[in-house]
Structure 1
Amino acid sequence: MADDPFALFDTWFAEAQASEPNDPNAMALATSDARGRPSVRMVLLKGHGPDGFVFYTNRESRKAGEIAANPHAALLFHWKSLRRQIRIEGELTWASDIESDAYFASRSRDSQLGAWASDQSRPLADRATFEARFAEMQAKFAGGDVPRPPHWGGYRLTPDHIEFWQDRAYRLHERRVFDRAEGGWTEGLLYP
């Protein structure tokens, strides 16, 4: 077994990519506001490595406001077909503009236009309003590249705790934990 949590993540993630029918990179992101009230939603992992786990979003959304108020967050990957999950806790920071620009450029044109058209998490009177805004963005950027909106970019969760959970018969599950320590990681087990 790997004693490096990132190597173990890579192994499990590769197995999920080979077996999960939809979005093996889907992860639950839990944040809380300044009063400590939690919220959770699904986002997509778009990059990972020893420096952390990256996703992209509107930086004026509800989640972005919660991150600004309290940058501590948690991620959860659940791969039902593999009977595994990974919990990751740490602090969120902005991904660089270079990373955000590069990822934005890789998105489909409609996704790029949608980032301009959406006031994510804000009230919407009706679907027609959003569709009209989308059509406006199509016209605005017709015939040219769609630049990344200034309010849209990446976040990186730098982990300080990672737990690998493997289902076992009779609820005798295996739980391996890694905690960041000075100079590396400590490893241990938890009771199921």
Structure 2
Amino acid sequence: MSDDNLLQNIAGLRREYIRGGLRRKDLPDDPAVLFNHWIKQAVEAGLPDPTAMTVATVDPRGQPYQRIVLLKHFDGRGMVFFTNMGSRKAKHLESNSRISLHFPWHMLERQVMVLGEVEKLSTLEVVKYFHSRPRDSQIGAWASNQSSRISARGVLEGKFLEIKQKFQHGEIPLPSFWGGYRIKINTFEFWQGGVHRLHDRFIYQCNDDGWQIDRLAP
């Protein structure tokens, strides 16, 4: 099929969602229980990058930006990811701590959306994770001034080799510009595909009495 024909037929690309539904009676009171169950199933299903999530932030002009990062930890305190603290997303979060996450588990016909606010991780938490990474990933963190403009890939590769030579012996120190965030979650939305586009959507919103659960129209 030519590119022109493909573009003309995009509107007709669709499939039926048949894997099953999501019913209110089956929902746990705590959304963390359902999220843990779903991400466990995503891992067991062999999905590529099951912990990949779209992270949306907003710049001071109100322009939204999105990018994919990996979820590195989840517990009762929230969700954790790591990044260069000089990156574009970190600068956005410095002025607006609100964040949105999205987990697209297409093969399972599921999506999860998360809303919340970030707080910076402690140095101890960051150091512990940084030194658990593969050595080349640690060097990569030093080599990349994330979101800055570079003239060519060779500049990045040259910096990587320079840093690798510098730290060829001993432990690689934590860069002062590298850190992480914990998202304090106030909203979960779970989406399960359904036949005839009658998808199941449930939103959990945190209030003083716990989690309020509502069904949303698809």
TM-score w.r.t. the length of structure 2 is 0.86
1:88 aligns with 2:111: no
Q: How does 1:1-192 map to 2 (within 5 A)?
A: 1=26, 2-192=28-218
| Mapped contact 1:20–1:79 kept (Cα < 8 A) | no
Secondary structure at the residue paired with 1:34? coil
| Displacement after TM superposition at 1:183 (Å) | 4.1
| Mapped contact 1:20–1:81 kept (Cα < 8 A) | no
Secondary structure at the residue paired with 1:106? coil
Secondary structure at the residue paired with 1:3? coil
Secondary structure at the residue paired with 1:159? strand
| Displacement after TM superposition at 1:20 (Å) | 3.7
Structure with greater strand percent: 1
Secondary structure at the residue paired with 1:12? helix
Distance in 2, Cα, partners of 1:120 & 1:52: 25
Instruction: State the aligned residue count.
Output: 192
Distance in 1, Cα, partners of 2:46 & 2:198: 24
Computing the radius of gyration from Cα coordinates, the structure with the larger value is 2
| Displacement after TM superposition at 1:139 (Å) | 1.4
Cα deviations across residues 7-36 of structure 1 (Å, max 9, x unaligned)?
110000100011143110000000001111
TM-score w.r.t. the length of structure 1 is 0.97
Distance in 1, Cα, partners of 2:137 & 2:151: 21
Which 5+ residue runs of structure 2 have no aligned equivalent? 1-25
Distance in 2, Cα, partners of 1:183 & 1:103: 34
Give % identity: 43
Cα deviations across residues 128-176 of structure 1 (Å, max 9, x unaligned)?
1111111111111111111211111111111111100000101111111
Which structure is higher in RCO with an 8 Å CA cutoff and minimum separation 6?
2
Runs (4+) of structure 1 exceeding 6 A deviation are: none
- RMSD (Å), alpha carbons: 0.9
